[in-house]
Amino acid sequence: MGKTLFEKIWDAHIVVETENSPSLIYIDRHLVHEVTSPQAFDGLRMNNRSVRRPDLTIATMDHNVPTNNRSLPILDQTSAVQIQTLEKNCKDFGIQLFDINSPNQGIVHVIGPQLGITLPGSTIVCGDSHTSTHGAFGALAFGIGTSEVEHVLASQTLWLEKPKPFEIRVEGKRKNPHAVTAKDIILSIIKNIGTSGGNGTVIEYKGEGISDLSMEQRMTICNMSIEAGARAGLIAPDEKTFEYLRGRKYTPKNYESLVDYWRDNLKTDSDAKFEKNYTLHVDNIAPQVSWGTNPGMTCDITESVPFPEDFSKGDQNQKKGAEKALEYMALKPGTPITEIKIDRVFIGSCTNARLEDLIEASTVVKGRKLSSHVRAMVVPGSQMVKKQAEELGLDKIFTDANFEWREAGCSMCLGMNPDILSPGERCASTSNRNFEGRQGTGGRTHLVSPVMAAAAAIEGHFVDVREMDLN
Amino acid sequence: MKGNVIKYERDNIDTDVIIPGQYLKVHDYAELALHAMEGLDPAFHSKVKEGDFILSGRNFGCGSSREHAPIALSHSGIKAVLALSFARIFYRNAVDGAFLLPIEIEEDAYSNISEGDELDIDIRINEIKNLTKNKTYKMKPFSEIIGKIIEAGGLFKYKPD
């Protein structure tokens, strides 16, 4: 019987495997950031261990970094300490670091692909759940905790249970691909399969609706695989993948011969078997807006806030969850989504802060002004994205419309730096999680695409971006 | 292992409510414990006792990879989380650092066990005794690797056969 792409990558990285036992898997690339690594480095020191492969380990700082003026000192002392600790750890253990002043600094999942560190067929880990992003390149990439970070630093391997392969087919053509985006595809998938629908699996996304997407859009899809509970998301590499990585800073010298190998080998065999299957047809999907406190609580822009009993379909826990979510979100069932007013807009995060995301958002913003009661922030995913965007004049489009144009980092996705919501504030956010308090204590998050966030910023409430003229 | 139950009757308890992002800069475990479950239940810290268990629904620990989540619970006194299912990273973090036991239970245990019930959990025979209600439930056995890491006392103490 044939193998899935996931199984091929897994098998190629087995160091030790015996029947009925966990597998020791080799890790090709280890990405490190300041939040989940300090205790791991402390552990190495306590046990007199070194970093096994500093050459395969790359670090940056993204979660804590302020996104305003970088020439000023960091006011939050605990953030400053965490950043300084990473600097010291990288120096002590010989790890390459893109620090706060580096032109390569940025969200770890944005810079990996941009620098050509992310490669097809490789295994990539990071102490960060959104490591699944790199699966867009046909890499097996997943988030790990700090104990596992220490294990990889020390040994370049991990003891793992083998996940099961899950095929998600995305079929059809989107009618309006500028208004109905990759974000709407992945939110639709999570809405349908649920936040634990992918538990214990590695999802492979296939079909016309996926091959149509650019690399940056594919990253948005794989990024949110974790929100469906999956270990990782994968897309088989194709010519778009190979073209994207060609000639980047760390792209290997023997790249073309690697491409020949990848082209022949990195695909699921036609007779391979998946444990689970799901198909989404995208011909008629609408822009998505989350209304609740997990990414599965999402509906079409044309719908209304659901009644808990309709949402739960008889499941008591789901019903209670929806009631609690509506209370937290201060929403009444039956309210049209387009009548929900917003206070803040966040365009950023490892889900949607790449150049294409900012270009798409700018087509909505150009020539218009931010709604007078809304504060909006654009936070590029990396300093490279920021520079490229500025070369295209996007910063001017946003600032002319009264949006704030910021330095790169995770920013308001998770409320670790000063960019947070105040209690009760409602935000249209291009990030990945609408959990209670995620963007700041008492903050209310609605997950949307960059164009939908931009449209809400202009109008002051959610609108169907399909009905707007895009520049 | 005996303890009393704190029950959260809901699914998808995420790591952002277990330990909100602003505390990920805190390295002192005792201080982290002060903020455990703060996003969901600000009274948690005042009611939790050493040796308590948390009981919850599906997909416990979904979200971020922060190991701070099981650390905060463990240093609050929580010895085990009983849930219908777990998110994978939380599950492995709990076991890898030997912070607490993530125990998968069936619907009968979930619906029958109430807040405050005293349980006696025996992972050698995969059994949960409810001493308050005089009932016994099965827990799902740990997989081979998880069992071995738990037995060893954490990932760094685990040595393959």
- Chain B residues near residue A324 by CB distance under 8 angstroms: 10
pLDDT in the model for residue A262: 98
Confidence of residue A163 (pLDDT cuts 50, 70, 90): very high
pLDDT in the model for residue A375: 98
Confidence of residue A22 (pLDDT cuts 50, 70, 90): confident
Residue B75's domain spans which residues? 2-157
pLDDT in the model for residue B144: 87
To the nearest whole angstrom, how far is the Cα of B9 from the nearest Cα of chain A?
7
Report residue B135 as tokens: 């009932």
B28 near A CB under 8 A: no
Q: How far apart are CA B102 and CA A155, in angstroms?
A: 26
Average pLDDT over residues A121-141: 98
Given the cut 0.90, state whether the ipTM is greater than it: yes
B35 near A CB under 8 A: no
Taking an 8 Å cut-off on Cβ atoms, the answer to whether B96 and A78 are in contact is: no
pLDDT in the model for residue B159: 86
To the nearest whole angstrom, how far is the Cα of B73 from the nearest Cα of chain A?
15
Q: Which residue of A has its CA nearest to B91?
A: A145
To the nearest whole angstrom, how far is the Cα of B88 from the nearest Cα of chain A?
7
pLDDT in the model for residue A132: 98
Q: Which residue of A has its CA nearest to B60?
A: A196
Average pLDDT over residues A47-58: 98
- Chain B residues near residue A161 by CB distance under 8 angstroms: 143, 145-146
Tell me how crowded residue A45 is: count the other CB atoms within 10 A of its CB.
12
Exposure letters A96-116 (e unless 16+ CB within 10 A, then b): bbbebeeebbbbbbbbbbbbb
Dump strand ranges (E) for A221-282: 232-234, 276-281
Confidence of residue B111 (pLDDT cuts 50, 70, 90): very high
Write the CATH number for B110: 3.20.19.10
Q: Which residue of A has its CA nearest to B144?
A: A21
Q: How far apart are CA A143 and CA A132, in angstroms?
A: 7
To the nearest whole angstrom, how far is the Cα of B127 from the nearest Cα of chain A?
23
Q: How far apart are CA B71 and CA B3, in angstroms?
A: 18
Domain count, chain B: 1
Q: Would you say A385 and A216 are in contact if contact means Cβ atoms under 8 Å apart?
A: no
- Chain B residues near residue A21 by CB distance under 8 angstroms: 144-145, 160-161
Confidence of residue A268 (pLDDT cuts 50, 70, 90): very high
Would you list the DSSP string of B48-115?
--TT-EEEE-SSBTBS---THHHHHHHHHT--EEEES-B-HHHHHHHHHTT--EEEEB-HHHHHH--T
Average pLDDT over residues A188-216: 98
Taking an 8 Å cut-off on Cβ atoms, the answer to whether B65 and A144 are in contact is: yes
Decide if pLDDT at A20 tops 90: no
Taking an 8 Å cut-off on Cβ atoms, the answer to whether B22 and A416 are in contact is: yes
Residue type, A468: M
Q: How far apart are CA A222 and CA A235, in angstroms?
A: 8
Query: Residue A301: helix, strand or coil by DSSP?
Result: coil
Report residue A37 as tokens: 């690594």
Q: What is the enclosing helix (H) or strand (E) of A124?
A: strand A123-126
- Chain A residues near residue B89 by CB distance under 8 angstroms: 129, 143-145
Q: Which residue of B has its CA nearest to A328?
A: B40
B155 near A CB under 8 A: yes
> For the whole model, what pTM was predicted?
0.97
To the nearest whole angstrom, how far is the Cα of B57 from the nearest Cα of chain A?
7
Q: Which of A77, A88, A144, A133 is nearest to A107 (CA)?
A: A133
Give the helix ranges, DSSP H, for A94-203: 108-114, 146-155, 182-193
